[in-house]
A and B are shown apart, each in its own frame.
Chain A
């Protein structure tokens, strides 16, 4: 059983909020190497289907628990992750994977397994893998997919609304006053106001709080979708799904890092630079 490092929590207890980004980065590295190990466990799973499945789902839960804690301290870091590659960043939806993507993952894996055993399935034999989704499972998954897409849209709209508040009256006014102050400074007129700084600070804090709430909803939908799909599947099917999810996540991460490293080597400087342990 893996122990989840939660340096994020530790640093906050030490009263060092500045270290959160670094610590989540560290946590992520640990988490992803655990995911690597779990993938190996999933591939050799025997009788202990249920416990391995539960372990992997708990691993995802721990990820979002830690992420949520860190987001409360520094939501901006969570929305501009340093621990992912630029390839992964390009496909981010509100700081993570798009929930509706889980159904595509499922359909794609299911399709591959279905085509591989088509003859048997048509003859009414069971293969017990994702190609063998029953009528009721397809029905439940389809229903779930529609619901997830709806919620995803609602959260996207929330985010749109919140992003638009960047240009709300108070922001525009504050930016104007701040600019005036800079201009006054340039003219040599010293005009500094602690009160004004506080006002900017509190306004920006509100923006961050808004982001944090939206990120929270997005992460809840991500974890909820994953768990709901796993629950509709039989334990054996769930193992196949979790394998596909881990493989996609791990390989995408690797491919992205490779691209970034290549850019780094070519000196284009566009790639993301980070020191990853795996």
Chain B
């Protein structure tokens, strides 16, 4: 765990928020990643048990737990860290034990997820590199409504379901069907759980035993060596920055507002809702049955069949011009355009040192690329807050740039279609 997740606790300061005496000089660069030795210190308390190497599910669970406990964090990650044992973060020798370290390059990413100006945190973020076949990585943003538990379930389960779907396929991935099936299973699980007697550890627990009026958006990106597969349900969004141009890889399932000159984007969704006998009613904006401002979501059983959990899936071939992928909840997109977001990330990536080729056994804590992703996610979050976003804000930034010295690695196992 030690290496996979570096939750930055101060710019090298102690984690005690009440202790300001140890605050370092303010001249240090913004959003510095903590020095490596400090990172090792931080993780020692969690490392009482030794876990097998490359136990990625386990490490990732830990990472997720970490996230729950702090809401916002910056992940620092590279393939070498993943291979590390908790105790031996600084033991460079253990790296060479790992036979797969050269095959799998972990994508570089940064994430920020904050409560912002809302009184409840209902966003969840899932970061699951190496979640399935070699070179497959998974990232997801889930924006809950009604309560947080559907978003939390999606965070905990959807990648496992998607993985099972992937493993069930032969080599010829039918991504659309696969994802539709995965989302349907996720939706069923949420439904079964809401019908059961299990209680959720959340605020709606006592209020509505069956939690019918709870749901979540889901935008997930599966990164393969040659593709970006984005599945979306609801109004979170994935945007690709390619050759400096912002390309949305998902289309928000907002209720169509026929009078809107701003974004009359989904008349098809309005038709779909109405064809099932549903109505879009104005109640603080257009809403399905006057209740839900989006036309697709996981959960929300009281709005079926108008609100569906079926995702729209886009499959994009990766290209050398790909710079980054941004996944975020509407807390960002409501106030920041795709172009601005890409511009900020681009500048952020540019202003950093070019990524250093990983040196054997070297701990690239000052790795420009990773820090850039984290910086970018923080900057976008701050921009959303600065622009008065009233919602939770969750932003995942994934660096898609090919790095010197490793370009040949991921694609070698795959034959392009």
A126 at the interface (CB under 8 A from B): yes
Are A146 and B115 within 8 A (Cβ)?
yes
User: Distance (Å) between the CB of A53 and the closest chain B CB?
Assistant: 9
In the assembled complex, which residues on chain B have CB atoms less than 8 Å from the CB atom of A114? Answer: 382-383, 385-386
B30 at the interface (CB under 8 A from A): yes
In the complex, what distance in Å separates the CA atom of A143 from the CA atom of B72?
Answer: 8
Are A134 and B30 within 8 A (Cβ)?
yes
Interface segment, A116-124, A166-174, A190-198?
A: A116-124
Q: A142-B115, A146-B121 are in contact. Are A135 and B382 (CB under 8 A)?
A: no
Are B381 and A138 within 8 A (Cβ)?
yes
Are B19 and A231 within 8 A (Cβ)?
yes
Are B117 and A104 within 8 A (Cβ)?
yes
Interface SS, A side: helix
Which residue of A139, A146, A236 contacts B8 across the interface (Cβ within 8 Å)? A139
Are B29 and A136 within 8 A (Cβ)?
no
In the assembled complex, which residues on chain A have CB atoms less than 8 Å from the CB atom of B9? Answer: 136, 139-140
In the assembled complex, which residues on chain B have CB atoms less than 8 Å from the CB atom of A121? Answer: 30, 379, 382
Which A residues between 4 and 48 are near B, CB-CB below 8 angstroms? Answer: none
Which residue of A124, A128, A142, A230 contacts B72 across the interface (Cβ within 8 Å)? A142
In the complex, what distance in Å separates the CA atom of A139 from the CA atom of B352?
Answer: 22
A212 at the interface (CB under 8 A from B): no
Query: Which of B20, B347, B387 has the most CB atoms of chain A within a 10 A radius of its CB?
Result: B20
Which B residues between 10 and 47 are near A, CB-CB below 8 angstroms? Answer: 10-11, 13, 17-20, 23, 26-27, 29-32, 34
Are B71 and A142 within 8 A (Cβ)?
yes
Are B72 and A139 within 8 A (Cβ)?
yes
B100 at the interface (CB under 8 A from A): no
In the complex, what distance in Å separates the CA atom of A134 from the CA atom of B74?
Answer: 10
Q: A111-B387, A122-B348, A140-B10 are in contact. Are A135 and B17 (CB under 8 A)?
A: no
In the complex, what distance in Å separates the CA atom of A107 from the CA atom of B402?
Answer: 36
In the assembled complex, which residues on chain B have CB atoms less than 8 Å from the CB atom of A142? Answer: 70-72, 114-115
In the assembled complex, which residues on chain A have CB atoms less than 8 Å from the CB atom of B311? Answer: none
Which residue of A110, A228, A234 contacts B382 across the interface (Cβ within 8 Å)? A110
A131 at the interface (CB under 8 A from B): yes
Which residue of B19, B112, B385 contacts A135 across the interface (Cβ within 8 Å)? B112
Which B residues between 333 and 384 are near A, CB-CB below 8 angstroms? Answer: 344, 347-348, 351-352, 374-375, 378-379, 381-383
Are B119 and A135 within 8 A (Cβ)?
no
Q: Digitize B176-200: 1 where CB-to-A-CB distance is under 8 Å, 0 elsewhere.
A: 0000000000000000000000000
In the assembled complex, which residues on chain B have CB atoms less than 8 Å from the CB atom of A100? Answer: 119
Are B379 and A132 within 8 A (Cβ)?
no
Which residue of B17, B27, B352, B382 contacts A126 across the interface (Cβ within 8 Å)? B27
Are B31 and A134 within 8 A (Cβ)?
yes
User: Distance (Å) between the CB of B139 and the closest chain A CB?
Assistant: 18
In the complex, what distance in Å separates the CA atom of A133 from the CA atom of B26?
Answer: 11
Are B27 and A134 within 8 A (Cβ)?
no
User: Distance (Å) between the CB of B150 and the closest chain A CB?
Assistant: 19
- The size of the chain A interface, using a CB distance under 8 A, is 40
In the assembled complex, which residues on chain A have CB atoms less than 8 Å from the CB atom of B114? Answer: 138, 142
In the complex, what distance in Å separates the CA atom of A111 from the CA atom of B375?
Answer: 16
In the complex, what distance in Å separates the CA atom of A100 from the CA atom of B116?
Answer: 11
Closest to B377 in A: A135
Are A138 and B10 within 8 A (Cβ)?
no
Which B residues between 29 and 73 are near A, CB-CB below 8 angstroms? Answer: 29-32, 34, 70-73
Are B70 and A139 within 8 A (Cβ)?
yes
In the complex, what distance in Å separates the CA atom of A234 from the CA atom of B12?
Answer: 13
In the assembled complex, which residues on chain B have CB atoms less than 8 Å from the CB atom of A133? Answer: 382
B304 at the interface (CB under 8 A from A): no
Q: A111-B386, A133-B382, A138-B381 are in contact. Are A124 and B30 (CB under 8 A)?
A: yes
Are B385 and A123 within 8 A (Cβ)?
no
A144 at the interface (CB under 8 A from B): yes
B388 at the interface (CB under 8 A from A): yes
User: Distance (Å) between the CB of A240 and the closest chain B CB?
Assistant: 12
A58 at the interface (CB under 8 A from B): no
Closest to B19 in A: A231
A214 at the interface (CB under 8 A from B): no
B149 at the interface (CB under 8 A from A): no
Q: Digitize B158-170: 1 where CB-to-A-CB distance is under 8 Å, 0 elsewhere.
A: 0000000000000
In the assembled complex, which residues on chain B have CB atoms less than 8 Å from the CB atom of A111? Answer: 382, 385-388
Are B348 and A136 within 8 A (Cβ)?
no
Q: Digitize B105-123: 1 where CB-to-A-CB distance is under 8 Å, 0 elsewhere.
A: 0000000101111010100
Are B72 and A134 within 8 A (Cβ)?
no
In the assembled complex, which residues on chain A have CB atoms less than 8 Å from the CB atom of B74? Answer: 135-136, 139
B128 at the interface (CB under 8 A from A): no
Closest to B15 in A: A140
In the assembled complex, which residues on chain A have CB atoms less than 8 Å from the CB atom of B29? Answer: 124, 126
Closest to B379 in A: A122
Are A135 and B23 within 8 A (Cβ)?
no
Query: Which of A114, A123, A128, A136 has the most CB atoms of chain B within a 10 A radius of its CB?
Result: A136
Are A138 and B382 within 8 A (Cβ)?
yes
User: Which B residues fall within an 8 A CB radius of A?
Assistant: 7-11, 13, 17-20, 23, 26-27, 29-32, 34, 70-74, 112, 114-117, 119, 121, 344, 347-348, 351-352, 374-375, 378-379, 381-383, 385-388
Question: Known contacts A122-B347, A138-B112, A142-B115; can you find 13 more A-B pairs with CB under 8 A?
Answer: A107-B116, A124-B30, A124-B351, A134-B8, A134-B31, A136-B74, A137-B10, A138-B382, A142-B71, A146-B121, A232-B17, A234-B23, A235-B23
User: Which A residues fall within an 8 A CB radius of B?
Assistant: 100, 104, 107, 110-112, 114-115, 118, 121-126, 128, 131-140, 142-146, 149, 227-228, 230-232, 234-236
9 closest residue pairs by CB, A with B? A111-B386, A231-B20, A135-B74, A124-B351, A136-B8, A139-B72, A142-B114, A136-B10, A114-B386
